[in-house]
Structure 1
Amino acid sequence: MSIAPSQTKLTLPDHTQLPETDGTFVKKFQEHPQSLLLTDSIRPTLDALHPTGRYTIGQDSGIYWQLTEPPERGAEAPDWFYVPNVPSLLNGEMRRSYVMWQEIVAPLIVIEFVSGNGSEERDTTSPLDGDRAKAGKFWVYEQAIRVPFYAIYEVKKASVEVYELSANHYQRCEPNDRGHFPIPPMGVELGIWQGSYMNQTLPWLRWWDDQGNLLLSGDERAEQEKQRAEQEKQRADRLAAKLRELGVDPEEL
């Protein structure tokens, strides 16, 4: 007797069916502006890399890498991450989370902001007895999601560690002569900048281009343009004054 094939089709949950938060407080007061600064300053570079807009940035958003119960135990929520070559919207909807079995493409870089002693961000614990929900964050990014670049930022120590995936394992990167860490696929460098942003003077995590030029935020670009316009006006006013000293009316030129 032949047995008919099963008509049951396995369907995996997508980003609209998975929780977008675990209900915990996950941001300190400095972390929100830090995420904004990273995103605001890198967007012109990413827009140039992706003229069609096919990329996405996550800020404290869940990355689902396995099915568990409850579902949120199978996700990590990096403070900041960037995924190249995926649409900013998914089927016309904003993503509630990033689901690996739905998206396939892994983030190129994941950044964690240390809020404790850093042990959670550096936890290399592998799955125990097949229970992957117990895997450490470092292990998940390295072995499960396989993120090419992983950065750990500690504002209290004014430091950042960058790891690059090589031969299936993270290798800690060495800074260049500028004290920055190159991220070649993005054409940028990551490092610490001591300065004021949103009324907080701190050692911020920031981007530079591969020539060592700081990538500015929107407010910084606007302020730079304002200063440039003021300098041009001052030069024009000085030139006009000199012309008048020579008996030349600059309005008639």
Structure 2
Amino acid sequence: MTSATNLDTDLTPFPDHTQLPESDGKFVKNWQEHPQSILLTDSIQPVLKQLHPDGQYCIGQDLGIYWRLTDPPEKGAEAPDWFYVGNVPPLLDGQTRRSYVLWREFISPSIALEFVSGDGTEERDRTPWKGKFWIYEQVIHPAFYGIYEVNQASVEVYHLIDGQYQLLPANERGRYPITPLGVELGIWEGEYQNAELPWLRWWDAEGNLLLTGEERAEQERQRAEQERQRAEQERQRAEQERQRAEQEHQRNERLIAQLRALGVEPEI
């Protein structure tokens, strides 16, 4: 077996995402993780496309971030449930990313999010070289680190300041500004993928909820339906006005006929 100390000499110079395991073989911890990640990714895409018109960014969903060489290699990775890195290519040499390898790319994520399945101890563990909180703060360095607890309907957000995570206070709307992205992060109570839960969601800086593609399509459908109803109402009003004018014309015609029958020629 190759020792941890020999890994850096056996692989020249360091392994990349194609040479490292893309999974540690563990199951997803709860069914909600997958739809929650999709919800975050789907709704923030329009923002990221504006920030990166060249398309140079990537999003990881339960994807390993390799931060040191170990034996086995996957012990040297942390896999946030969701993270975003700006100014990096979405593909590497035309291949889909299997992991994010810090010693190959150097750029830290702007934000990493963990979805708590237990009591949150793992996500707040500050044990040097082992604890998630310590690894994110001291090595991976995402500018923002969020701990989302669906059972508590809450999220804690930390901001990296001078190399230390500081708890970010909520704004007047009860949400957390992620200023580099121009968005806010918070809890939304509602139904998504047939589940009524306190979901983690984005809002813009003005407090407007960022919608998913399906929600945007539904909003457009409702707008089109309202426009159709407005046009139909306008058509009905026009038809009523036409009928009223026709009735008025017929009354005038009858009056003229009556006057002529009496020998009176009306002035028209």
**Structures share a fold, TM > 0.5?**
yes
Cα distance between partner residues in 1 of 2:104 and 2:93: 12
1:189 counterpart (180, 184, 188):
184
For 1:80-229, list aligned pairs within 5 A.
80-127=82-129, 135-229=130-224
Determine whether 1:231 maps to 2:226: yes
Q: Cα distance, 1:26 vs. partner? A: 2.3
Structure 1 counterpart of 2:45, one-letter code: R
Structure 2 counterpart of 1:103, one-letter code: E
Q: Cα distance, 1:27 vs. partner? A: 3.7
Q: Cα distance, 1:10 vs. partner? A: 4.3
Deviations 1:7-40 (A, max 9, x none): x994100000000001111241111100000000
Deviations 1:167-196 (A, max 9, x none): 110000000000000000000000000000
Cα distance between partner residues in 1 of 2:213 and 2:86: 22
Structure 1 counterpart of 2:76, one-letter code: G
Q: Using the aligned pairs only, state the percent identity.
A: 64
Say which SS state the counterpart of residue 91 (structure 2) adopts. coil
Q: Cα distance, 1:120 vs. partner? A: 0.3
Any gaps of 5 or more consecutive residues in structure 2? 1-9, 244-268
Q: Cα distance, 1:152 vs. partner? A: 0.2
Say which SS state the counterpart of residue 246 (structure 1) adopts. helix
Say which SS state the counterpart of residue 156 (structure 1) adopts. helix
Q: Structure 2 length as normaliser, TM-score?
A: 0.86
Q: Structure 1 length as normaliser, TM-score?
A: 0.91
Cα distance between partner residues in 2 of 1:177 and 1:184: 15
Extract structure 1 runs of 4+ deviating beyond 6 A. Answer: none
Q: 1:9 to 1:26 in 2, by over 3 A?
A: closer
Structure 2 counterpart of 1:147, one-letter code: P
Q: 1:36 to 1:237 in 2, by over 3 A?
A: same
Report which of the two has the higher share of helix.
2
1:15 counterpart (10, 14, 17):
17
Find the counterpart in structure 2 of residue 78 from structure 1. Answer: 80
Structure with the greater alpha carbon radius of gyration: 2
Say which SS state the counterpart of residue 78 (structure 1) adopts. coil
Find the counterpart in structure 1 of residue 55 from structure 2. Answer: 53
Cα distance between partner residues in 2 of 1:170 and 1:101: 22
Find the counterpart in structure 1 of residue 70 from structure 2. Answer: 68
Say which SS state the counterpart of residue 215 (structure 2) adopts. helix
Any gaps of 5 or more consecutive residues in structure 1? 1-7, 128-134, 249-253
Q: 1:38 to 1:9 in 2, by over 3 A?
A: closer
Structure 1 counterpart of 2:21, one-letter code: P
Cα distance between partner residues in 2 of 1:172 and 1:9: 39
